[in-house]
Amino acid sequence: MIIFLKKGLPLSKEKEFRTFLAQRNVEVRPVEHEEQELLVVLGRCGELTRREIEKNASVEKTLDVDRPYRLASKSFRETPSVVSVKNGLKIGGKRIIIMAGPCSVETKEQIIETAKKVKDAGCQILRGGAFKPRTGPYDFQGLGKIGLHFLKEAGKRSGLAVITEILDVRDIELIDKYTDIFQVGTRNMQNYPLLRELGKVRKPVLLKRGMWATYKEFLLAAEYILLGGNKNVLLCERGIRTHVSETRFTLDLNIVPYLKHETHLPVIVDPSHGTGRANLVRAMSRAAIAAGADGLLIEAHVDPRKSLSDSDQAISIQELTKIVKEVQRVANAVDRS
């Protein structure tokens, strides 16, 4: 159950009400929500009935949510959430948003040239990793702070918003200075300390699905961020591990309509990691939008074969341009733009 406190309730009244709940063994977690304080009830209502809670003068209303991910669920919010990035750019509305760029920021020239081309191709957001979660410790680990600096510069020059991955909870403050969207990678989907801290920021967080994760585990991970009061969560399907060895991962498009049914949060699809193969990215981009995704996250490189990471899945700018055009037509067919 979720308790909506009356708008503008004085702090003293809220404290009084929470003491009353605690005395009756009702355990709650407070969450800030659109200028209103909510109390998410953990478990049952203790010794009180829903009626008794509702009758309290501090309470506006209560809401029963029959899902473990209460704030992420459609019962909490029926209408789709629209996440604002910056300069009027919104994700989750009628317009499909495409984020593209290299797996890793490699040099200043590379990311600046990419930004210009990604923009000319018709994309809205520039991606680029500076802290890379590589399988092997001897692989290129990203440029770190200087990479963030180059990415921001490329964003500024092109006018594109930027997204980059955060690996370590200790880097939140640093990355916050450089990015418009925090990306949480598949390997960190269940890094709860990181998710909790990202609940305290107000910038959007793109949460990638763990490559092993069930839909419920994915939504519960998003719930950690929402419970902190950050409602700007973007869910991203990026492929899961299956028995198929011909592709790097299996892009699970079932999840798109499933999430659209279960949650109000925007859904993004990453066909690059989802396939691991550059020649499959275009078809899966079209399919993702046809399935109802709100946007795409694509790895594109000015010289794909020279990518320092994930070169097999990197597409060229020409291919990206084709994708944007084709996605436009699919978007129109499903009443999006």
- Cβ at position 307, least distance to Mn ion in Å: 9
Query: With the C-alpha atoms ordered 254, 91, 271, 70, is the resulting torsion angle positive or negative?
Result: negative
Which position among 116, 119, 208, 282 is part of the footprint of ligand PEP (CB under 6 A)?
208
Contacts by residues 153-156 (CB-CB < 8 Å, ≥ 24 positions apart): 153/108, 153/111, 153/112, 154/111, 154/112, 154/114, 154/115, 154/126, 154/128, 155/115, 155/126, 155/180
| Helix, strand, coil abundance in the chain, percent, nearest 5 | 40, 20, 40
How far apart, in Å, are the Cα atoms of 226 and each of 73, 84, 328? 11, 15, 31
Paired strand residues for 39: 3, 30
Residue number of the CB atom closest to Mn ion:
103
Phi, psi of 40, rounded to the nearest 5 degrees: -90, 120
Q: Does 103 bind ligand PEP (CB under 6 A)?
A: yes
Of 119, 147, 97, 133, whose CA–CA distance to 208 is shortest?
A: 133
Which position among 58, 97, 117, 129 is part of the footprint of ligand PEP (CB under 6 A)?
129
Count of CB atoms situated within 10 Å of the CB of 218: 25
Of 19-27, 144-152, 178-186, 304-312, the segment contacting Mn ion by CB under 5 A is 304-312
Helix (H) or strand (E) holding 235: strand 233-237
- Cβ at position 258, least distance to ligand PEP in Å: 19
Q: Which is closer to Mn ion, CB of 52 or CB of 139?
A: 139
By DSSP bridging, strand 295-299 and strand 90-91 are: unpaired
Q: Which is closer to ligand PEP, CB of 70 or CB of 248?
A: 248
- Cβ at position 274, least distance to ligand PEP in Å: 8
Q: Does 103 bind Mn ion (CB under 5 A)?
A: yes
Site string for ligand PEP, 130-159 (x = CB under 6 A): ---x--------------------------
Site string for ligand PEP, 265-284 (x = CB under 6 A): --------x-----------
Phi, psi of 220, rounded to the nearest 5 degrees: -70, -30
Q: Which is closer to Mn ion, CB of 81 or CB of 188?
A: 188
Q: Does 238 bind ligand PEP (CB under 6 A)?
A: yes
Indicate the residue type of 22.
A
Q: Which is closer to Mn ion, CB of 171 or CB of 310?
A: 310
Rounded to whole angstroms, the Cα distance separating 310 from 158 reads 24
Site string for ligand PEP, 174-203 (x = CB under 6 A): -----------xx-----------------
Q: Does 310 bind Mn ion (CB under 5 A)?
A: yes
- Cβ at position 131, least distance to Mn ion in Å: 12
Q: Which is closer to ligand PEP, CB of 119 or CB of 273?
A: 273
SS3 84: strand
Q: Does 313 bind ligand PEP (CB under 6 A)?
A: no
Binding site for ligand PEP (CB under 6 A): 103, 129, 133, 185-186, 208, 238, 273
